[in-house]
Structure formats: C-alpha cells, structure tokens
Structure 1
Amino acid sequence: MLIISETLAQTLVSVEDAIEAVSGVFVAMARGEARNYPVVREVVGHADAVYGVKAGGDVSAPFLGLKAGGYWPHNLGRGLSNHQSSTLLFDPGTGRAAALVSANHLTGIRTGAASALATRCLARENAAVLGIIGTGGQSLHQLRATAAVRCIKRVHAWDMQPASTARFADAVRAMGLDCVAESTPEAVARAAEIIVTVTPSQAPILMRDWVRPGTHISAMGADTKGKQELDPALVAAARIFVDEAAQAISIGECQHAHAAGLIREAELTPLGQVLTGAAGGRRSPEDITLFDGTGVALQDLAVADLAVQRARATGRGIVVDY
C-alpha cells in the first residue's frame, strides 16, 4: 500500500489540477460512467463532532474508494484543523486496498475546484467582484480556485467572527488583491458579482432581496441535514445547478426550498450535463445562477487518485506491506 502524507499531498496536486480532475468526474457522472454510493453522515456524540463516509467509483478512470472523516469543532484550540479526513483507494480489478491519502488539503482544493467549475460555467464572463461569506479554512481555497477561472479584481468578505474576516482580508491583500472586510453579509451580497458561501450555518444568512440580477452563487456550506445558508426564496428565484440532485435535496442547500415545495428535483441541473453540453448554463445576463455544492465522493477520489499517480511516477510516498 502507498501512503501519502498531508505534506506530500499538498505538493502533488494544485488547485488548477483539482479543477480539471473534478471536471472529469462530473463529466463521467453525467455519462453514467461514475457513481457516488450512499453517504453516511452522523453526529458522533463525542467532542461535538460530525463524522461521515463518502464512497464511489469511476469505471472510466478507473478508481474506487472512500473518504472518511468530518468536523471536530474544537480542534483549532489543539493546533489542528477542524476538518479531518482520509481517503482510501482500492484496486478496481482486485478489491485490494492500494493507497491511503491524507485528505485535509485535498478536500479543501476539491471543494474550491467544484465551486470554480460552476463559476466557470455559470458566472458572467466579465464578473470580477467576488463575495466570500465565511472566512474559515475553506475561504482561501475558494478565492484561489475562483481566481483561476475569472479575473478577480476585488473581494468583499464577512464572517461571524470579525477577527477571522480581518485575517482573511490581510491574506487577500498579501496576494495583491483589494479586499473589503464587511460588517454584514448584506454588504457582501450587494457588492458582489460572484458569491461563495462557506459556513456551517443552520439558518439563512444570504437573503433574496440582497442579491443583484446576474449574480452567480456557489453555496458550499450545506452538506448535512439541517444546514442552511440561503433564504429559500433566493433558492427558488435562481436557476439551480448541483453536483448531485438527490444529495442536494436531502442534505444540501436545496433541502429547505424543496421541503417547502418551492422547487422540484426535476428543476435541478447536474453541472456535469452543462460540461458535456447536454444542458445549458446561464441563459441571460440577468439570471441569478446557483450551484448547490454538497460535495460528492467522486471529487475526493479523483484528486486522491491524481496524487497517487504522481507519487508513483516520481517515487514519492511510503510503501508498506499490507
């Protein structure tokens, strides 16, 4: 078995690499060549943690595996990331465990990559003002990924913790971009042409009346039953695109509007269909487009498989008898 550490994983796969890898699995999903298996997502009952297992396989690659991990909200006080996860890949031909990949960094960049793909497909070509709602560990991944697909000139940011917003703004300015640390999410929404929400919220923090016509929104925070970042009226007003429709209405941002009868599953367009040309994206400059990014196993497996390929090609990683 090949073992890839967190440090090595960071050197093997860039956010640009992740965008192309995630694009490939979205296309494979749309063509019926790749499938995500049912998700396990549970409250642990210890350390306020949420734990999950996501699995899937892509016969076109091919790869097969799972990612296990979750959210431990008290880790920052221990000097650790709150999000912890590991990916286990299996040989699709024999079923033998083939690689164990530390997935904290890879989860961050694949989430940014999925959002960026939606932005590349759906945001207006000239959109240059990015709004970030939620400035935790995922926020810089989102910024870097978005900047890879659009020429971002200014960033507006907000977080429930003003100190977090200030730290993020400093990091953005260090990248050579203008950044405004806003005091409310409304201020972010009214300024932005592209909005990314990446919070653990369980109540709406982005309202319909704040969002201008023509805005693209990537809602990336809702991945568990009960999570919510957007006003259901905003969801209902948007043209909705998803990584996977069934997951979006069960644990994603769409769960609340769907439960209220404001949207139907048939109205949700898988992003992979846009990438293959089977479905259209933005229809007019005035459309509000929404990508409900719940995070699917195949995204994790694609970036882990790429890391494994590159590690083997360059003789890196640790090989153990298993």
Structure 2
Amino acid sequence: MSNDAQLLLLDKNAVEALLLPDQVLLAVREAFTLHSRREGRIFPVVREALSTGGTFGIKSGDVPSQALLGFKAAGFWPANRAVGAEPHQATILLFDPASGRPLCVVDGNAITTARTGAAGGIGLQLLARPDSRQACVFGTGVQARVQLEFALKLLPALQEVKYVSSSGKVNAAFEAYFSGRCKIALATDANAAVAASDIVITATPGAGPLFDLQAVRPGTHLNCVGTDTRGKRELPAGLLKQVRLVVDDVEQARRIGETQWLPETPCTEIGDLLTGKSVLQRHADDITVFDMTGLALQDLTVARLIQQQAMEQGMGSRIAWPW
C-alpha cells in the first residue's frame, strides 16, 4: 500500500494538445491488430437509454501483455445542444491491472472523435477505390468533420464533397473548415449525391435510413459511423444483402451496429485485413461497407499514448490518491 500515490488528470485542453493524427492512426491500427490476434480483449458493451433522454454506455477491455486495462464511460445527450454544449460526452479511466488502482482520468471527447476518425481513415485506405474523387457526407457535426478530415488526408484523389445537413440548409462553418482543401457544397438531393459519389460517409444520430437503396451505385464504399445502439440505423433496408461487409468486431456489430438489421450477413473484421488473417480482393463494381461500432481497445491505446506523452512533458494535474 502507498500513501503517496497520485492520480493523473488530463482535461480537454491537455488531450487536444497531445493528439496528433499520425500517432492516433498508429494507435488505432495497433488496437485493430491486437483485436485480430486476440492479444487484446473487449468486454461486453453497456449501452442504455436514460429517462433524461440521453444514452449512456461503457466500453472496456484490456491488453494483458501490456498491462493495459480501462474503460470509457460515454454517451449521447441531445438536449446539451440547447445550452450550447456538446451532446457527446466521454471519460476514460486507466487502471493498474495488478492492483486495480486507478492511474489516469482522461477527457474522452477528443479521443473518441480522433480515434473514430482514424478508424474511418483506415477503412477508406483498405476498402475504398484509390481513385475515389467524390464523397457524400451525411452530417456536419464533430464526427462528420473528422471523418472528412481523415478522408482528405489519406485519399489524395478526393477532390469534391457534397454534404447533407440535418436542416437541409448550408452550414457555412462546415464549408469554411474545408475551404481550399476540396470543392465542397450542400447536397440538395441526398439520393443524387449518393449516386454521384465514390465514397459515402454517414455520421448522424442514426434516426433512420438516409437515402434510398437504388441510389447506391456499384463501386461505392460506405463508412457507417452513426449506428452504435440497438434500434439505430443509417442505411436503407436491403443494402447489406448487396455489399461486402467489414466490421470492427463481429459480435458487437451484430448487436449495435448496422449489421443488427441483417446479422447473418457474412463479414470480415478489419483487424484481420491488417494482420493478413483475411484477404479482401475488391472488384471495381463491389459495394463495400465498413460498419464502425468503436472498440474499447481504440480508446485504450490512444488514451495510453496521451498518458505517456503527458507524463513525459509534465502535463496534466496530479492529485493524491492513497490506497
């Protein structure tokens, strides 16, 4: 037992200062690889609706060989928007697996955003056609922004973007953010925008299908981000029957992802593509889908990266935590 033990606290400002896209990409690739090799474990997800109108969840896991153990408590509170606050809220806690002592509390919002964006980027690298030039993005929030950021970073041929906003109106801030990096404009017809695109990114609250089945043309790749709870969906009925499906975790995707709507769909885990356990030969006319439900291992590998950097640079707050 120790009376001089400390708990490291890393707030939003510290996390955002330490998050670098290239490092996040490496950490997320590591998470997928650990999962494929079953060197990292993910525990059953908690995802429940609250009487307040919010949704609360816990994702947890460990990597025994790395002494990495922790969880992320997170959820979605749409009413936060009315008071100018972020509806997504997340906090990550890392533990010493030998003693159970908490080591580090990390603001999880920026980590969730960055690791999900990086996961989408990896999906595009592995599944989208390299010559993809046009994308359609559903959503204009934080996640839509980071997904498009990684898409533009990793797909040099991508030049034109149409976006669909929840209001159906131009989002000037969203357009300004990507000004000079691509040709970006509001899509006035969602189906037409999907039909004209090589890549479709869905990053919405998952309230229902966003476009018609007939809009999806051969050769399209879809990154599906918003469906992470029972009952949510973004894709039209019937689409999964026509696609080559990739997921981050099979069981999790069947419970809370787009795959819940047709759980018998054959699928491949993205980590298995990275490790070579599975091979996906993409034909030009294939429609591919990456069903992204988010792995606890992504949160843990990125949080550990931030923790290590903070300790090296003397960042964060330390409070006494005797045990």
Bucket of the pairwise TM-score, normalised by the shorter protein: over 0.9
2:35 partner amino acid: M
Shift of 1:62: 3.7
**Pair 1:189 & 2:188 matched:** no
What secondary structure does 1:51 align onto?
A: strand
1:281, 1:31 → 2: CA distance?
A: 18
Q: In the alignment, which of 31, 39, 42 is matched to residue 36 of structure 1?
A: 42
Alpha-carbon distance between aligned partners in 2 of 1:164 and 1:31, rounded to the nearest angstrom: 45
Check conservation: 2:127, 2:282, Cα contact below 8 A: no
How many residue pairs end up in the alignment? 314
1:65-84 equivalences in 2 (<5 Å) = 65-84=70-89
Q: CA deviation at 1:150?
A: 0.8
Q: Is the counterpart of residue 15 in structure 1 residue 21 in structure 2? A: yes
Instruction: Please give the secondary structure, in 2, of the residue aligned with 1:304.
Output: helix
Structure 1 residue aligned with 2:33: 27
Q: Distance in 2 between matches of 1:207 and 1:57?
A: 40
Q: After superposition, where does 1:227-266 map in structure 2 within 5 Å? A: 227-258=232-263, 263-264=264-265
Aligned residue number for residue 131 of structure 1? 136
8 Å CA contact 1:282, 1:289 repeated in 2: no
- What is the deviation of 1:128? 2.4
Between the aligned partners of 1:192 and 1:139, the Cα distance in structure 2 is 16
Q: Could you give the per-residue CA deviations for residues 100-151 of structure 1, whole angstroms, max 9, x where no partner exists?
A: 0001111111111111111111111111222111112211111111122211
Runs of 4+ in structure 1 deviating by more than 4 angstroms, as ranges, are none
- How far apart are 1:166 and its partner, in Å? 4.2
Residue 57, structure 1, aligned to residue 62, structure 2: yes
Give per-residue Cα distances to partners, 1:220-244, cap 9 Å, x unaligned.
Answer: 1100000000013111111000000
1:170 maps to amino acid: A
**For 2:170 and 2:93, how far apart are their aligned partners in 1?**
33
**Considering only CA atoms, is the larger Rg found in Structure 1 or Structure 2?**
2
Partners of 2:31 and 2:74 lie apart in 1 by 21
Can you give the 5+ residue segments of structure 1 that lack an aligned partner in the other structure? none
Q: How far off is 1:321 after superposition?
A: 1.1
- Alpha-carbon offset, residue 188 of structure 1: 2.2
Separation of aligned partners in 1, 2:242 and 2:67 = 38
2:190 and 2:130 map into 1 onto residues whose CA distance is: 24
Give distance in 2, aligned partners of 1:273 and 1:159: 34
Contact between 2:58 and 2:71, CA under 8 Å: does it hold in 1?
yes
User: Is 1:170 aligned to 2:176, yes or no?
Assistant: yes
Please give the alpha-carbon distance, in whole angstroms, between the structure 2 residues aligned to 1:116 and 1:56.
23
Q: Structure 1, residues 234-261: CA drift from partner, whole Å, max 9, x if none?
A: 1111100000011111110011123xxx
- Map 1:292-303 → 2, pairs under 5 A: 292-303=291-302
Deviation at 1:302, TM superposition (A): 1.4
Contact in 1 for aligned 2:94/2:105 (Cα 8 Å): yes
Please tell me the residue identity of whatever aligns with 1:294: T
1 CA distance for matches of 2:211 and 2:65? 39
Q: Secondary structure at the match of 1:228?
A: coil
| Residue 287 of structure 2 is aligned to residue 288 of structure 1 | yes
Q: Is the partner of 1:229 in helix, strand or coil?
A: coil
State the distance in 2 between where 1:291 and 1:131 align.
Answer: 15
Matches of 1:156 and 1:18, distance apart in 2:
26
**Partner residue in 1 for 2:271:** 272
Q: 2:90 and 2:140 mapped to 1: Cα distance?
A: 20
Among all aligned residue pairs of Structure 1 and Structure 2, give the percentage whose two residues are the same amino acid: 35
Contact persistence 1:41–1:224 (CA under 8 A): yes
- For residues 314 and 218 of structure 1, the distance between their equivalents in structure 2, rounded to whole angstroms, comes to 36
* Aligned amino acid, residue 185 of structure 1: A
Out of 186, 207, 224, the position equivalent to 1:219 is 224
When the two structures are superposed, what TM-score results if normalisation uses the length of structure 2? 0.93
Conservation of the 8 A alpha-carbon contact between 2:245 and 2:267: yes
Structure 1 residue 318 and structure 2 residue 317: aligned? yes
The Cα shift of 1:164 comes to 6.2
TM-score normalised to structure 1 length:
0.93
Structure 2 residue identity aligned to 1:34: G
